[in-house]
Chain A
């Protein structure tokens, strides 16, 4: 009884010597077979190891997503580095420090409100840094004595020692109206300046500075004779 395969072979003439020659005609040398097998299996082992390593992942995530996250993080860092000047730059100010200081001083003179809302970061900042570019920390010193020429001379001396400047703000006079002096000094000598004020003029009410980390500090000194 012939099998279907044999019947099919007879139909197609596959039982001829030609077919046997085709099936068995090209026989590779056993040495070649063994040599290639060794190389191939070595290659397969190496490839399988590579694939195992590729499948391993941190936190159980597929390696692809880890690579994607790494590339994304690197791109973000590069982008931040390139746009550092934009993101970490304080807002562009429309007023110079001098103009603003003058404005604040005049406002304070005309207004009896506490000095709590002066010189904060202005709206419109582009990034995360405080708005310290063109503004300065402010300290408010209040004396209940009049501003005399002697006191003004002392203030000019203290400002000169600290490498700062002093100027009169407002139109007050010694007849009972408040007078203000604006002292601008480097922030690293602020404590020294406040100490010198205490020594030279006497104790006064000092408000805490608004910290903007500016290089210079503006000291507003108000003389309000009772």
Chain B
């Protein structure tokens, strides 16, 4: 019904008292927000919690949306902040790299149980995707931002350039480097294996 309307038109519709605008916003942004949350939290439960919190607070947060930026970039910022808050809340006080202290004052190396799938596990698309998501942390922040804005928030190159305040060419080259870096992190063999199952 409102699928052709721009985000800003949908928001104005809601601000004028018509809730139908927000239904279209939900359909448009639910997957994007969830992907962004999952990429950073890598826990289905946590991603659902954060996504719920973002959407349930979205209507009231609209008062802070002045229309100076595009809604897509505004909601990206809102979602990013919510995810970072969630990460801060759940982060333990001790470093995961620190050794464990045992009785008697001795310390032993911490063995961290990693439930993320390893290369040998990702034989299906979902597993391979999770494996790729797991490699995002290894990217420099600038490259990661471009990945998030392009593939999770589904912004155009120009919108990404506007959001990051860089040239269009910079966005393309940064995206290219990011994908190349991910490709090198994920072994070519595994990628081929995953493609074979597709």
* Neighbouring B residues of A22 by C-beta, 8 Å: 129, 132-133, 147, 151-152
Interface of chain B: mostly helix, strand, loop or mixed: helix
Say whether A24 contacts B19, CB under 8 Å: no
Say whether B38 contacts A26, CB under 8 Å: yes
Give me the 3 closest cross-chain CB pairs, A-B, nearest first. A25-B129, A52-B17, A47-B59
Size band of the interface chain B makes with A: 35 or more
State in angstroms the CA–CA spacing of A24 and B151 once bound together: 9
Known: A18-B186, A21-B132. A28 touches B34 (CB 8 A): yes
How many Å from the CB of B197 to the closest CB on chain A?
A: 10
How many Å from the CB of B138 to the closest CB on chain A?
A: 13
Interface of chain A: mostly helix, strand, loop or mixed: helix
Q: Which of A35-43, A162-170, A213-221 contacts B (4 or more CB under 8 A)?
A: A35-43
Does any Cβ of A come within 8 Å of B1's Cβ?
A: no
* Neighbouring B residues of A32 by C-beta, 8 Å: 48
Known: A13-B180, A36-B51. A21 touches B23 (CB 8 A): no
* Neighbouring B residues of A8 by C-beta, 8 Å: 157, 172
Say whether A23 contacts B17, CB under 8 Å: no
Say whether B52 contacts A36, CB under 8 Å: yes
Say whether A40 contacts B22, CB under 8 Å: yes
* Neighbouring B residues of A27 by C-beta, 8 Å: 31, 126
Q: List 20 A-B contacts (CB under 8 A).
A: A12-B179, A13-B176, A13-B180, A14-B175, A16-B191, A21-B132, A21-B133, A22-B147, A25-B126, A25-B129, A26-B133, A36-B51, A43-B59, A45-B19, A47-B59, A48-B14, A48-B18, A51-B15, A51-B16, A55-B16
* Neighbouring B residues of A2 by C-beta, 8 Å: none
Does any Cβ of B come within 8 Å of A203's Cβ?
A: no
State in angstroms the CA–CA spacing of A7 and B121 once bound together: 33
State in angstroms the CA–CA spacing of A29 and B30 once bound together: 11
Q: Which residue of B lies closest to A36 (CB)?
A: B52
* Neighbouring A residues of B18 by C-beta, 8 Å: 48
Say whether B22 contacts A21, CB under 8 Å: no
Does any Cβ of A come within 8 Å of B128's Cβ?
A: yes
How many Å from the CB of A22 to the closest CB on chain B?
A: 4
Known: A40-B26, A55-B17. A28 touches B48 (CB 8 A): yes
* Neighbouring B residues of A36 by C-beta, 8 Å: 30, 48, 51-52, 55
State in angstroms the CA–CA spacing of A82 and B127 once bound together: 73
Known: A26-B133, A28-B34, A40-B26. A19 touches B151 (CB 8 A): yes
**B2-43 at interface with A (beta carbon < 8 Å):** 14-19, 22-23, 26, 30-31, 34-35, 38-39
